[in-house]
Amino acid sequence: MVCVNLLYDVGSRDENQSCTGLAHLMEHLMFTGSRYAPDFDGALQAAGGESNAWTSADMTNYYETLPAQNLETALWLESGRLLGLNLNDQGVSVQKKVVVEEFKQRCLNQPYGDLSHCVNSVAYTVHPYRWPVIGLSPDDIERASHREIVDFFHSHYAVNNLILCISGHVALDRAVDLVVKWFGDIEPVQLPKRELPQEPAHTARRCAHFRRDVPDDMVYLVFNMCGRTERDYVACDQLSDILSNGTSSRLYQNVLLKTGMFTDLDASVTGTIDPGLFLLRGRLSKGVKFDRALAAIEQELQRLVDDGVTQYEHEKATNKYESNFLFENIGYAEKAVKLCQYELLGKNSLELDYNADSVNTEVGRYHNLDRSLLQQVASQLFRPENSSVIFYGPNA
């Protein structure tokens, strides 16, 4: 078996506020076929393969897995939709309806479905991360004109905006020859210059309260942090693990179990290429007031700032990260997407020297973390003036 993975350097951050959701819509449209293969899925399935895709704020990824002897089928299909994607009115109309229904199902008709809308709208003021990947509203998708969709495709879906990886049971020479055969003659295009508005530093805490038809209260404490390619990212990522990764973590042991104020409590980082978010999320027990719950979380954060991280916590978090990272890279499909992602980080890097080979050195960044740096980053990160608080609860 082999995997063909194609990562395009385009995501929802490349949209403008008047037309959000285009990157995700384009992911759907890429499966409408091309003038070379009107039935993309049918041709791939006939070769014993399957495909899928996903969109994030920073990138859009497509992949096919199929028997190694049919590798050329996947490359033919991918070059075909890059050169002649079917963007006729009927196909666009159908996929618009699909995406609108997905928006309604995931964000409007599901409890807590619009949480990402609420959180991002408070934590960001100018950067395109302030809307989620699916878009601000289904109205944006419905209003998107055929011209806007075609222009978005031709502006971002180009051979010089693409990272391609083939992994699995195939010799290097054969893989290279087939890629040259199917992609070598595709002309590069003039890519739009990415000039995204930079999010200004927080000068005061932001607070917002949202009431919805949901069963339980939730509180989000959000801190604006560095981007994925900056030096402090691995420290922020490890701090989130120390706080909430597993039943021996600080938030679980010291807050969730001891206070009884939460039924669920965790921490995470968004890991976006541009400056992202450090998120602490808690679902409150019945009758617990927001201010008490928030104070309990902040008290634990202050302990981390004051006392720092123990050697045991650092080693435990690093070992967990290494274990998860290695298991994630066992399969040939997982390897392919990771290689593309690290290559993309290098293309967008501000400080660190990333490239595809970083998949072999990333764990070392965690092992080499100094505990004094973890405490320093925590003290800079967990400042009230750098935070946003989102209270989200029932209408009653």
Mean pLDDT of 139-144: 95
- Residue 232 has what pLDDT? 96
Mean pLDDT of 364-380: 96
* Fold of the domain built from segment(s) 2-183: Cytochrome Bc1 Complex; Chain A, domain 1 (3.30.830)
Is the pLDDT reported for residue 124 higher than 80? yes
The distance of Cα 252 from the centroid of its chain, to the nearest Å, equals 25
Residue that is written with structure tokens 């014993």 in the block: 48
Mean pLDDT of 192-209: 94
CB of 77 closer than 8 Å to CB of 38: no
Give CATH for domain 206-320+369-394: 3.30.830.10
CB of 275 closer than 8 Å to CB of 199: yes
How high does pLDDT run on average in the chain? 96
385 Cβ neighbours under 8 A, 6+ residues apart: 202, 203, 204, 205
Enter the pTM of the model. Answer: 0.94
Tell me the per-residue pLDDT of 7-47, one tens digit each, with 9 for 90 and over. Answer: 999 999 999 998 999 999 999 999 999 999 999 999 999 99
Query: 92-109 burial, b for 16+ CB within 10 Å, e for fewer?
Result: beebbeebbeebeeebee
CB of 358 closer than 8 Å to CB of 346: yes
109 Cβ neighbours under 8 A, 6+ residues apart: none
CATH 3.30.830.10 range(s) for the chain read 2-183, 206-320+369-394
Tell me the per-residue pLDDT of 43-86, one tens digit each, with 9 for 90 and over. Answer: 999 999 999 999 999 999 999 999 999 999 999 999 999 999 99
Q: How confident is the model at residue 350 (pLDDT cuts 50, 70, 90)?
A: confident
φ, ψ of residue 185 to 5 degrees: the values are -95, 0
CB of 238 closer than 8 Å to CB of 250: no
Q: How confident is the model at residue 186 (pLDDT cuts 50, 70, 90)?
A: very high
**Paired residues of 54 in beta bridges:** 61
Q: Tell me what percent of the residues of the chain surpass a pLDDT of 70.
A: 100
φ, ψ of residue 322 to 5 degrees: the values are -60, -45
Tell me the per-residue pLDDT of 239-289, one tens digit each, with 9 for 90 and over. Answer: 999 999 999 999 999 999 999 999 999 999 999 999 999 999 999 999 999
CB of 284 closer than 8 Å to CB of 293: yes
- Residue 352 has what pLDDT? 82
- Residue 21 has what pLDDT? 97
What is the token pair recorded at 89? Answer: 């009115």
- Residue 353 has what pLDDT? 87
H/E stretch holding 280 reads strand 277-284
Give CA–CA dist 202/386, Å, rounded. 5
**Paired residues of 278 in beta bridges:** 223, 269
Q: Tell me what percent of the residues of the chain surpass a pLDDT of 90.
A: 97
Q: How confident is the model at residue 396 (pLDDT cuts 50, 70, 90)?
A: low
Q: How confident is the model at residue 181 (pLDDT cuts 50, 70, 90)?
A: very high
